[in-house]
């Protein structure tokens, strides 16, 4: 199935969410770790890649209400930004603003986790490295890019929704919680004093650490990011 056909299915409400989800997964898988495919997409659409590929994905994510479809759309977006100049195109389309709206309005914790991980992987980790796929090449080279982005507002967004999570046993989605904590730590590292602690953050972290101590199943994988966030916001931990 052609790329254009996949995009038509993804962006059309005439298809069921299940079919659109399958198309989004197919699109994402076709581009994942595939430098040749990424190069071909850019070569095929050129400067129109922004409007032909990224725009319909972002629009669908913003308008759609189906939980599974939105998770699949987020996966597809995370792959398409790897197209050469994809991050610049994403920012130009107000992709960060769209993700913030989706994050704030969804109650799906796994989707929030995927959005947080996307911010960390594509815009915060290793000074925003983007795969620079040369036309016709079989491999890409990593170049540091500087975009006119500002993720500082995400510091408040992530904290506001994090402290709403209950500290009760078995509550929430721990995988998404870890992703949010890791991204929050990275935001604090980048923006310093501009990333101020939510008034409820210290209380929530304390409650979550206490819950973790009572639940052996969580282990270090959740304890470590909790302590790291506590450290960057409030200093040394016991």
53's enclosing H/E stretch is none
Please, which residues bridge with residue 133 across strands?
140
CA distance linking residue 47 with residue 178, whole number of Å: 37
CA atoms within 13 A on the CB side of 85: 17
Percent of the chain with pLDDT over 70: 84
What local confidence, expressed as pLDDT, does residue 2 receive?
84
How far apart, in Å, are the Cα atoms of 117 and each of 94, 121, 229?
18, 6, 16
Burial (0-12, 13-18, 19+ Cβ within 10 Å), 121? middle
| The pLDDT of residue 218 is above 80 | no
Where exactly are the structural domains of the chain? Answer: 1-148, 150-238
CATH number of 1-148: 1.25.10.10
Band (41; pLDDT cuts 50, 70, 90): confident
Find the DSSP H helices in the chain. Answer: 3-11, 17-31, 35-45, 49, 55-63, 67-80, 86-92, 95-105, 109-119, 153-162, 174-191, 201-214, 220-234
What pLDDT score was predicted for residue 145? 46
Residues 44-71: tens digit of each pLDDT: 887 788 898 899 999 999 999 999 999 9
Instruction: Give residue 172's pLDDT.
Output: 66
Q: What is the DSSP string of 150-198?
A: --THHHHHHHHHHTTS--STT-S-HHHHHHHHHHHHHHHHHHGGGSPPP
Q: Is the pLDDT of residue 142 over 90?
A: no
Q: Does 99 have pLDDT greater than 90?
A: yes
Residue-level pLDDT at 20: 97
How high does pLDDT run on average in the chain?
A: 85
pLDDT bucket at 217, cuts 50 / 70 / 90? low
Question: Looking at the predicted structure, is the pLDDT value of residue 120 above 60?
Answer: yes
Which pLDDT score, from 0 to 100, does residue 63 have?
Answer: 94
Q: Distance between CA 194 and CA 205 in Å, rounded?
A: 20
C-alpha span between 187 and 8 (Å, rounded): 36
Question: Is residue 181 within 8 Å of residue 227, measured between CB atoms?
Answer: no
Q: Which region holds residue 126: left if phi is over 0, alpha if psi is between -120 and 50, else beta? A: left
Q: What per-residue confidence (pLDDT) applies to 165?
A: 86
- pLDDT at residue 150 greater than cutoff 90: no
Give the model's pLDDT for residue 147.
Answer: 53
């Amino acid at each position: 199935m052609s790329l254009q056909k996949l995009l038509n299915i993804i962006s059309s409400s005439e298809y069921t969410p299940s079919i659109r989800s399958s198309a989004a997964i197919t699109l994402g898988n076709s581009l994942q770790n595939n430098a040749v495919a990424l190069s071909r997409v850019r070569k095929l659409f050129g400067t129109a890649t922004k409007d032909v590929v990224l725009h319909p994905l972002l629009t669908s994510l913003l308008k759609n209400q189906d939980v599974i479809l939105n998770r699949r759309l987020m996966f597809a977006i995370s792959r398409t930004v790897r197209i050469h100049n994809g991050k610049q195109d994403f920012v130009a389309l107000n992709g960060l603003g769209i993700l913030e709206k989706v994050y704030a309005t969804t109650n799906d914790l796994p989707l929030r986790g995927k959005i947080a991980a996307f911010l960390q992987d594509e815009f915060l980790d290793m000074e925003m490295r983007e795969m620079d796929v040369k036309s016709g090449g079989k491999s890409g080279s990593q170049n540091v890019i500087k975009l006119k982005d500002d993720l500082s507002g995400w510091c408040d967004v992530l904290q506001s929704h994090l402290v709403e999570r209950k500290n009760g046993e078995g509550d929430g989605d721990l995988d998404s919680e870890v992703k949010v904590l890791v991204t929050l730590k990275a935001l604090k590292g980048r923006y310093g004093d501009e990333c101020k602690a939510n008034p409820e953050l210290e209380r929530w972290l304390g409650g979550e650490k206490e819950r973790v101590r009572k639940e052996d199943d969580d282990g270090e994988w959740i304890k470590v990011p909790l302590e790291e966030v506590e450290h960057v916001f409030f200093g040394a931990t016991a």
